[in-house]
Amino acid sequence: MMKLHLLKRANLQDDHVQSVVISLLRGAAALEVAAAHLRAQIYPGFSLVENPGALFKALAFFTGFAQQAVIVFFLLSGWLVGGSLLNKIGQENALKHYAIDRVTRLWMVLVPTFLLVLVFAGASAKVDTSVFSASLANEYSLAAFFGGLVGLQNLLVQPFGANFPLWSLSNETWYYILFPLIVVASSSTSNRNRLLALGAAGIIAYFLTLPILLYFSIWLMGAACSRIKIETGMAMRCVFLGIFVALSVFFRLRGSNNNLGWSSLPQDILFSIAFLLFLTSIQFTWATETGTRRLLRRLGKVFADFSFTLYVIHIPLISIVFFFNPFLSGGGRLAANNPYHFVIYLALFLGIVATAYLFYLPFEANTYRVRNYLKRMLAKVKLSGPIEPTQQGVAKR
């Protein structure tokens, strides 16, 4: 038997089961994307391998869920960011706080990553750092640098430093902007504010690409379901989880996994529904705390905390690996059926993850410190403690 509850507030408390699962999935999705891109860069394509062995088949299969990982990113972003704003709308300075939250979320990782990419490009003679370029077609230009900070990559400028996974940040950035405009348009008591918000949303939508607009529906599904709780038993939760896993595997093998558009939207909506059914059904706290549950919570926190850094920096780190490896930089690839080469792949992957974590410590780890400082200075808010006590764990977005 199931009961559906509409919540007055999104439940973002990190002591609930769904928060632990969200943290684990955020980390797993970032690891999946990094593993997939590393495999694509240093191994030949699966279709080019004659008689692939079991080990390479397993590697290709398990690193082939990058599209599903990105959809999970969008859903969780809607759940956490959208749900948090809905909780705070109507409070004093809510939109100012929201703007500061979003800018610090992005720039605390993007700015140092872009600077690292620029330093490496100069040191490796990929670019002449003494000459400034503002060309929209130059991936190392000032236009690409600042355009990448405001979500214009693949819209107006090239992804800075050829960091192609940052296409998804264009989506995220514009979803961060469109969503509060929709909220204001639907909740404001001022007709003038409603019209201004709708007008601004319409103008922005006019200039965005069709895939960005289409996949805003996925993000909105995450935001909407942050206010839904399904009360059911363990058996039905297992059914929801089984459907989600089955669809993940089916779409990995038979679906559209290389682009976002009309052709892939139906499968991604179905995938999203299955995922959200499971997520909304696990909104409860564990009756008892066990060692395994404490470990899962700690692992989730660790990997979720630096998942964004890993997502942003893994391509620059792969580029550095190629630069210092003459075999790879010369066009060589690892042998698909060589177990020793699999060890090399695994070592490189773990090295990239460890380096991303070290890069996280001085930058993304201090997001709340910078965020609170800006709220004091720019929003004129007097703080007696942390700004977002309910977002210290899973909802750090």
Residues 305, 27: Cα–Cα separation, whole Å? 8
Residue 125: what residue type?
Answer: A
Q: Looking at the domain assignment, is residue 81 inside a domain?
A: yes
Instruction: Say how many domains are in the chain.
Output: 1
Q: Could you tell me what percentage of the chain is helix, strand and coil, using 3-state DSSP and rounding each to the nearest 5?
A: 70, 5, 30
Q: Looking at the domain assignment, is residue 212 inside a domain?
A: yes
Of 8, 26, 120, 125, whose CA–CA distance to 76 is shortest? 26
Residues 213, 227: Cα–Cα separation, whole Å? 23
Residues 305, 43: Cα–Cα separation, whole Å? 29
Q: Looking at the domain assignment, is residue 277 inside a domain?
A: yes
The two three-digit tokens of residue 73, written as one number: 């990113």
pLDDT of residue 151: 95
Q: Looking at the domain assignment, is residue 38 inside a domain?
A: yes
Domain around 261: 3-391
Per-residue pLDDT of the chain (397 residues), as tens digits, is: 789 999 999 988 888 899 999 999 999 999 999 999 999 999 998 888 888 999 999 999 999 999 999 999 999 999 999 999 999 988 888 999 999 999 999 999 999 999 999 999 988 878 877 777 888 888 999 999 999 999 999 999 999 999 999 999 999 999 999 999 999 999 888 999 999 999 999 999 999 999 999 999 999 999 999 999 999 999 999 999 999 999 999 999 998 888 888 999 999 999 999 999 999 999 998 878 888 888 988 999 999 999 999 999 999 999 999 998 888 877 789 999 999 999 999 999 999 999 999 999 999 999 999 999 998 887 564 544 444 433 334 444 5
Residues 85, 99: Cα–Cα separation, whole Å? 10
Q: Looking at the domain assignment, is residue 13 inside a domain?
A: yes
pLDDT of residue 379: 52
Q: For residue 50, what is the DSSP state?
A: S
Residues 158, 153: Cα–Cα separation, whole Å? 5
pLDDT of residue 331: 79
Residue 281 backbone dihedrals phi, psi, to 5 degrees: -90, -5
Instruction: List 229's β-bridge partners, or say none.
Output: 5
Residue 366: what residue type?
Answer: N
pLDDT of residue 318: 95
Q: Looking at the domain assignment, is residue 346 inside a domain?
A: yes
pLDDT of residue 396: 47
Q: Looking at the domain assignment, is residue 291 inside a domain?
A: yes
Q: Looking at the domain assignment, is residue 397 inside a domain?
A: no
pLDDT of residue 245: 97
Q: Could you write out the DSSP letters of every residue in 80-94?
A: IIIHHHHHHTTSTTH
Listed in sequence order, the residues at least 6 apart from 218 whose beta carbon sits closer than 8 Å to its beta carbon are 71, 74, 75, 78, 268, 269, 272
215: Cα within 13 Å, side-chain hemisphere = 30
pLDDT of residue 292: 85
Instruction: List 297's β-bridge partners, or say none.
Output: none
Residues 191, 189: Cα–Cα separation, whole Å? 6
Distance of CA 282 to the CA centre of its chain: 22
The two three-digit tokens of residue 214, written as one number: 């289409």
